[in-house]
Chains A and B, each alone.
Chain A
Amino acid sequence: MSYDARFRVWRGDADGGELVDYTVEVNEGEVVLDIIHRLQATQSGDLAVRWNCKAGKCGSCSAEVNGMPRLLCMTRMSTFTETETVTVTPLRAFPVIRDLVTDVSFNYAKARQIPAFAPPDLAPGEYRMQQVDVERSQEFRKCIECFLCQDTCHVVRDHESNKEAFAGPRFLIRAAELDMHPLDAREDRADFARDEQGIGMCNITKCCTEVCPEHIKITDNAIIPMKERVVGRHYDPLVWLGTKIGLRKR
């Protein structure tokens, strides 16, 4: 059940590169990462690719297959026809290091800007939380930090200049996660999302949700609720009035 597939893999580094053609064996049940490994082992030992778990759990093997951001280890060869040419390139929103490996430090820098979980005034072991209250944040904690959402988000993919002002979907769900954490002691997560993370840059076009391998409903469950919270704090005169006359707690 094996056949020879045609692959085009981007080879090169920051100074330049090109799509290189390969013909390589494919066996039943294999994923794109297997084929890249076969190329490494048989045709080009120095083909650079990141991976770890090969089970969609670590988010290392992010790249673009036929133009779409994907995990190489979770893209099955059976989704292509035998005659189709499979094109594999590095993520196109981040600087390339070599071949399929990109410099994703943008994401780590953004991660460091979000104020950390603010523990409540409780001793360890005294935390009590209800399952219904943790479930929303748990969805966002499924994130494997593959950064496919960051890669596909046009705000930064198509506008390098926005990288300064926009944190990207991965870190907007982090903001939502903390704001919905039943015991987080900070109250200003939504303000931070607006003022420092640039949530207003997102035009909710949902590409992040489309590519998330963990199927996190990034836009519907995190970004839009955060936008609504921002509205509640900044753009809603009724809420403002309510807090003024004491009908509503801050």
Chain B
Amino acid sequence: MRKTHYQNEIASSVYSVETDEDIMARIISIAEKEYPYECCGILIGRCDDHCFEISDAYETCNHERSVKRADSFTIGPMDVYKCERALTGTEYEIIGFYHSHPDRPAVLSVKDETGMLPGLLYVLISVSAGMRKDITAYIRINEIIHEATMYCENRPKG
């Protein structure tokens, strides 16, 4: 079949993500806690052209008013704004977002692809029967979506 111009292809990865076990454990526990609904949040850290370093994560799915669904998530513009304002003057910034796929694989859906902001990291956690299965990370550069390789270290604190 012909590929239409807007179809994205997953290219081989030259992008990497660095984080530590504490942060990942926190994100995973939120994903498992929210199951069978999706969780979501903001990833904070530093990045250069090819490497994303996650140093913190900010949960946004715990609002009282937020609608819990098993097949979609949203992070409101004002959540992003407030987070960004709080980071002003620090060496950190918003480098991406995370969300979970309950009972579905950790691959981008069409909805995910359509909503992806270029240059930002999207971390996906698949949760099956309440337990984490896979974690993947993607980044869109122009119209191409790349899968990033994740490195998770047990970095000493301090």
Q: Is the A/B pair a real complex? A: no
Please report A residues at the B interface, Cβ cutoff 8 Å.
none
